[in-house]
Structures are given as C-alpha cells and as structure tokens.
C-alpha cells in the first residue's frame, strides 16, 4: 500500500477506527430545509462522507430551534435545527447513524454541556436566538445535576447508534471574567475546566470504551484571537499543555486547531504550503507520552503529505473537512495509491457558506467539486441520461474546457481540446505570480496534468479551429469554453485608442500581471472588485504603491465575505477589540478610495468624481483598469451549427467563477 500509515486502522476504547482520517463538525448550510429532523439531503451528505473515507464524522446537535429566528445576516439562522424533544426525530438520527456504520465509519455528536434551564457555569450567557435571556450562575450544589444532564444527553445519542462525543473546549481554557469564587472559578486552567472534566469522567464511568470522547482545542490562542474574541481572551501553548495533562485520563482523541479562528480556516492568505504548526504541537505532545490520540486540523488533503507526517510519528490521525468536500473519490484514490489524482481544494472556504445575502445567495458550494451537496439528488438528476461514445470537441483549454474534457472522457467520449495559445490554463495563469494563490496554482497544475495523461483526450495547442474544421473533423458534439476577456469601459475617457486597444501606460489587470517588472513605482487601479484587490495585493508585495478607486462603498464588494476575504487575519483595534479583517488591510502601501467614479485618464493622470460630484485627480506611473470581463459569447456561438450537439460552458455564458465553471463542465458533459 502506498499510503500504509494513512489506511492503518486504530483501536480506541472498544472501537476500531478504520483509518486515520476524520471529518469535523462542518455542516454545509444548504443541505437542510425547514425540517426539524435530518433531511434526506443532509443524511446523504453524511453517508457520502463515510463512503468517501471519513473514519469518524462529527455531527452537531443543532437542538435549538430558536436559532432560526435571528436576523437574515446571522450565520446560524440558516443552519440545521433538530427537535430532539420529539421521539419521531430520533428515527432519522438512528437512520443517519446506520448509514454511517454501513461504510464501517463512526459518528460522533458534537455538543456543549447541558445545564438546568436558565443557568450556566459563569452566568450571563445568552442562549442562541432572539428570545435568549442572560443566564444565572449555577450554584455549586447543583453542579452534579448538570453533570447528570450531560450524561443523559450522551445516553440518548448512544441509544441512537452514535459512537462518541466531541466537545469544543477552547472556550473553557480562555481566561475571562468569572464571578465564581468556588472550585470552578477562573483562576487556573484546572478550575476553568473542572466542570468539563467532571462530566467527561462521568460519561466514561457510564459507558467506558463504548462511547469515545474527542476534545477540540487550539494549540494556543493569542489574546483576543479565539472563536469568542475579546480582550484578554486567549491562552498560551503552555496552558494548552496543562489542559492535556489534566484531561489525558478522560479524552480519547484531541483535535488540535491552529492558533486563531482565521488560521483554523486556512486560505492562501493565512497558510503557507506544507506548514502546520498544529502538527508540531502534536509531535511535542506525543514525545511527552500523552495517551490521547493527536489529530491536527487545518488545510490537510494531500495523501502524500499526511502519509509522511504519520510515518514520522508526529501525530496519530488527521481531521479534514474541505478535503472530503473537494473530491468525492478521495477515499478510493487513496486506496488505489493515486494521490496525485486527488482534486486539490483551492481553500476558498465557500463551502462554509456566505454571510451577506446581498452579495451571494445563501448556499454552501465547492469551487472544484460540482457534486458537492448533490448526494441526495444526483441519482434523480441523471437517471435517464445515457452516454453513447461520441467524438467531442472542446474549444478552449482554460479551467472550464479542461474540466469538461475530463468529465467527457470519463464517460467514454473521444475528446479533443483546441487551445489557441501555446499553453493550457487560461486565466488561471495569474496563480503562477501571486504568492497567496498557491492553492489555485495547484489546482491549475492538477488540471493540466490530468488532461495530459488521459489517453482519451487529445490536446492541440496554437490551434483555433474554424466551424468548418469542426464539421469536417467528424465531431458529434462541441463544448465551447471560449471564456471572457478583460473590458476597457467606454465610460472612462482616454483609456483606449480608436481600435479599442489600451493606450500606452494603461493596462488591464490581467495584462499587467506578467509585466509587473515593467511597471513604475506608483500605480492606480480603477476598479475595486476581487480581481482589482488581489492585483493590488500582488503589486504591493512586489514593492509598488497602489491606490484603488471604486464606485462601490467598500473595497472588494464582490468577494466572498465569510472566511475568504473578511477572515484573512485578526487585527486588534486601538480599543482592544479583535476584528476579522480583509487581507488587503495588511499592506501599508495600499490605499483605497471608495464611492468615486473614474471619469478620464490623461497620460498618467486619473480624474475622478466623489459622491458629491467634486472632481479630483491623482497621478501615477501606470494606470490599471479593472472594468469587468466581456464574455466571448459570439465566438462560442460560431460553432453552434457545426455538430448535432452544442453547449456553451463557463465564462462565455457570462463571467463567473470556478464554481460556476465546474458546474457547467460537469452538467453539460453529462448531457452529451
């Protein structure tokens, strides 16, 4: 076996864990409708995780129906909500566990402590939902009552077929205002976590090795960086070690997160490739002889990387969410030793959902896996589709064309990719230049590698066939992925000549990227979309001073707000608040001017108007135009009559993103 360590089972308590890969509490929003029980889409998603190789799957309790009554922009409003007071709901929970067990996997319930109504250990907490009221401090003499409630909740889930319990403990490690003066006061790690240890011990006493316990902590949390950001709200690596020593007798598995909430959901901004501080911490704990299994989380997906870390004895298993979402054949590829064929996650975090509905629909998606979340319905969508082998022409060797070619070849078709330039990759070429785009670069290189080694795909570079060429070539279907090109808005005077080409000193963002060395020190970018902001960051990293002008009231108005941009790093404000901040705010040489309209470019001077109609000007060495993309629709439609079947896919339908392009690539290939 190529991945011997990754596939070796573990015995934990009385349970056999089939491999070293676990799935955390990460439930996509759109799998559940208004049902107060696990709906079919949700159960199918969970079942598919088990089929795909997840040895342990954490599922949140979501037993507070009041959470759905919050404001529209509240993340939790759109999450699942299960009525665990209704025994009929238990039927579906048991069915869910049954489906997981069918694939020899285990299911854990992710929950927090249970308290008598109206109480919490330190008081003052607001239960989720608009009707929540501050809680009172649980009296010392009633702590045993709370412990018993926790044990009974676990008993219910054990009876439904669940195999263990997962608890997020890092909030208990955080030193915070605590009015208690008894043994549960917040003066020490031991006191702050004493109640949690008591109910863990009670669960162990009640169920022994038949119901496992997994705790979740970060290996450290600097002041204010935790999931409950507040001044003075962190803990040190040494305190995390102290917690482990205290809990080694009651915890079976420790899920180790990275040091703050942004790094725990890593992107190309927050993570360096192959660098995992949580692994180093796990190795340190193993060297100290800790009994609980060490399971780091944070951007893992590469089977080769995970195998190497396990072989070196640095940890016992891994926790990965996006890795399972990005490739629904991950488990099979690992068993077959095909690690290089695993679809790379680009770490965009769109699977986590969005947070501002005016920017994006309330849905969780995967940029690279069009099957994400479709496990419960894809059989219905594709039930009557048949695939008789055909000769298929793919026009365009960008990401959409390559992915469509792979899907078509996988269905048995004979595929030819026609690419008019001398290389594959299309607009993803920019990932070769941007330091923070390494996940996208990995995806681009994966696409190129996969089409090049597929014996059912022929690649013709420097070739732009005419419609008659396609017709004469005997092709039976066309997938036109002609893409889009950067626009030079006619509303901005002076940026283009009479032929529509950019004047000297003026570039589109895409044109400027490979010519960065030719650009001057000071640059103005007209347009503050995602493309404009990422280009600005790239230029700032290379020593340029950049000013971004945008007519929107914010920079990066079309960026994915949850995690992808907004949660790029934690900034501590002057008044001590921890704020999840956009990536571009780290660059001192980047300035943004919002709510302005670019009117004219005259040489190296840009004229713009503010919201009150006042004219301003700014001078720079070069001007970059970020004016959107023009779909090459006519170019695509020119092939429409060349074959019996024709499908326009990707940006030629209207400039989109990788997620939309991959949806087109899969669905249109399925229609051939």
- Each residue of 476-502: pLDDT tens digit? 999 999 999 999 999 999 999 888 889
Q: What is the pLDDT of residue 623?
A: 96
Beta pairing, strands 597-602 & 484-486:
unpaired
Q: What is the pLDDT of residues 617-628, one digit of tens each?
A: 999 999 999 998
For residue range 177-231, what is the model confidence (pLDDT) as tens digits? 778 899 998 889 999 999 999 999 999 999 999 999 999 999 998 765 544 444 5
Mean pLDDT of 382-393: 93
Q: What is the mean pLDDT of residues 622-641?
A: 95
**φ, ψ at 477 (rounded to 5°):** -155, 150
Distance between CA atoms of residues 505 and 526, nearest Å: 13
Rounded (5°) CA angle 567-44-255: 45
**In contact, 251 and 169? CB cutoff 8 Å:** no
State in words which class domain 387-485+631-671 has: alpha beta
Between 54 and 26, where is the model more confident?
A: 54
Domain with CATH 3.50.50.60 in the chain: 488-627
Q: How many CA atoms lie within 13 A of 54 on its CB side?
A: 30
Q: What is the mean pLDDT of the chain?
A: 91
623 touches 544 (CB < 8 A): no
Q: How far apart are alpha carbons 204 and 150 in whole angstroms?
A: 12
Q: What is the mean pLDDT of residues 279-292?
A: 98
Output helix, strand, coil percentages for the chain, rounded to the nearest 5: 35, 20, 45
CATH 3.20.20.70 domain range(s) in the chain: 4-352
DSSP E strands in 225-359: the ranges are: 253-257, 293-296, 318-319
What does the angle CA 437 – CA 439 – CA 442 come to, to the nearest 5 degrees? 110
Check the CA dihedral 541-542-546-551 and report its sign: negative
| Whether pLDDT at 359 is above 50 | no
Return the biggest CA–CA distance within the chain: 87
Q: What is the dihedral of CA 38, 44, 49, 52, to 10 degrees?
A: 170
Q: Of the given ranges (8-22, 91-105, 424-438, 548-562), which has the lowest mean pLDDT?
A: 548-562
- pLDDT at site 229: 45
**Contacts of 219 by beta carbon, 8 Å cutoff, 6+ apart:** 237, 240, 256, 257, 258, 259, 277, 278, 281
The mean pLDDT of 128-151, rounded to a whole number, is 86
Query: CATH fold of 488-627, please?
Result: FAD/NAD(P)-binding domain (3.50.50)
Q: For residues 137-163, give the mean pLDDT.
A: 97
What's the whole-number mean pLDDT along residues 420-429? 96
Name the CATH topology of 4-352.
TIM Barrel (3.20.20)
Backbone angles phi, psi at 601, to 5 degrees: -120, 120
Q: How many residues does the chain have?
A: 672
Return the bridge partners of 608, or none: 598, 616
With a CB cutoff of 8 Å and minimum separation 6, the contacts of 500 are 488
pLDDT class for 252, splitting at 50, 70, 90?
very high
The pLDDT of residue 349 is 84
Phi and psi at residue 489, to the nearest 5°: -55, 130
Q: How much is the pLDDT for 606? A: 96
Question: Are 259 and 202 spatial neighbours (Cβ–Cβ below 8 Å)?
Answer: no
């Amino acid at each position: 076996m190529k991945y011997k360590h990754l596939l070796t089972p573990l015995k934990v308590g009385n349970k056999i864990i089939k491999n070293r890969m676990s799935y955390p509490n990460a439930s996509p929003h759109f799998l559940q409708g208004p049902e107060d029980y696990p709906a079919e889409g949700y159960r199918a998603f969970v079942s598919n995780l088990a089929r795909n190789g997840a040895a342990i799957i954490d599922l949140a309790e979501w037993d507070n129906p009041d959470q759905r009554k919050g404001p529209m922009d509240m993340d939790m409003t759109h999450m699942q909500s299960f009525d665990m007071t209704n025994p009929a709901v238990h039927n579906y929970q048991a069915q869910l566990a049954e489906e997981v067990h069918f694939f020899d996997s285990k299911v854990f319930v992710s929950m927090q402590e249970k308290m008598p109504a109206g109480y919490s250990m330190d008081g003052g907490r607001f239960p989720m939902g608009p009707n929540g009221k501050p809680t009172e401090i649980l009296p010392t003499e009633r702590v045993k009552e709370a412990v018993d409630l926790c044990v009974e909740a676990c008993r219910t889930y054990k009876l439904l077929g669940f195999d263990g319990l997962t608890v997020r403990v890092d909030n208990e490690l955080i030193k915070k205002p605590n009015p208690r003066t008894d043994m549960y006061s917040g003066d020490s790690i031991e006191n702050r976590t004493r109640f949690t240890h008591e109910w863990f011990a009670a669960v162990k006493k009640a169920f022994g090795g038949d119901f496992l316990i997994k705790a979740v902590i970060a290996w450290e949390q600097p002041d204010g960086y935790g999931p409950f950001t507040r001044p003075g709200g962190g803990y040190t690596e040494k305190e995390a070690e102290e917690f482990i020593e205290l809990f080694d007798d009651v915890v079976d598995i420790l899920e180790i997160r990275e040091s703050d909430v942004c790094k725990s959901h890593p992107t190309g901004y927050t993570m360096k490739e192959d660098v995992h501080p949580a692994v180093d911490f796990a190795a340190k704990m193993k060297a100290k002889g800790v009994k609980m299994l060490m399971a780091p989380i944070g951007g893992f997906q590469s089977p080769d990387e995970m195998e190497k870390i396990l072989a070196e004895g640095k940890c016992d298993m891994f926790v990965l969410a996006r890795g399972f979402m990005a490739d629904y054949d991950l488990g099979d590829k690992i068993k077959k030793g095909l690690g290089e064929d695993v679809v790379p996650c680009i770490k965009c975090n769109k699977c986590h959902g969005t947070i501002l509905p005016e920017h994006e629909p309330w849905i969780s998606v995967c940029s690279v896996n069009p099957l994400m979340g479709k496990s419960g319905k894809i059989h219905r969508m594709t039930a009557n589709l048949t695939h008789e082998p055909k000769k298929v022409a793919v026009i365009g060797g960008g990401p959409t064309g390559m992915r469509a070619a792979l899907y078509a070849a996988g269905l048995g078709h004979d595929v030819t990719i026609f690419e008019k330039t001398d290389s594959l990759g299309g607009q993803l070429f920019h990932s070769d230049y941007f330091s923070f785009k390494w996940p996208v670069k990995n995806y681009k290189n994966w696409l190129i590698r996969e089409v090049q080694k597929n014996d059912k795909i022929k690649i013709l570079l420097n070739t732009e066939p005419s419609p008659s060429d396609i017709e004469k070539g005997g092709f039976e279907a066309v997938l036109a992925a002609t893409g889009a090109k950067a626009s030079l808005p006619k509303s901005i005077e002076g940026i283009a000549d009479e032929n529509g080409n950019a004047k000297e000193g003026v570039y589109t963002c895409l044109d400027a990227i490979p010519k960065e060395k030719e650009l001057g020190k000071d640059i103005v970018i007209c347009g503050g979309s995602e493309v404009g902001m990422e280009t600005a960051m790239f230029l700032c990293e290379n020593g340029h001073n950049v000013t971004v002008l945008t007519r929107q009231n914010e920079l990066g108005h079309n960026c994915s707000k949850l995690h992808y941009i907004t949660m790029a790093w934690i900034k501590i404000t002057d008044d001590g608040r921890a704020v999840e901040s956009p990536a571009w705010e780290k660059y001192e040489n980047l300035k943004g001017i919002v709510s302005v309209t670019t009117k004219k470019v005259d040489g190296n001077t840009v004229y713009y108007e503010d919201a009150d109609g006042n004219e301003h000007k700014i001078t720079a060495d070069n001007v970059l135009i970020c004016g959107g993309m023009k779909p090459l629709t006519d170019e695509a439609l020119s092939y429409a009559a060349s074959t019996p079947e024709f499908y326009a896919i990707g940006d030629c339908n209207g400039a989109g993103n990788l997620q939309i392009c991959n949806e087109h690539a899969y669905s249109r290939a399925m229609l051939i």
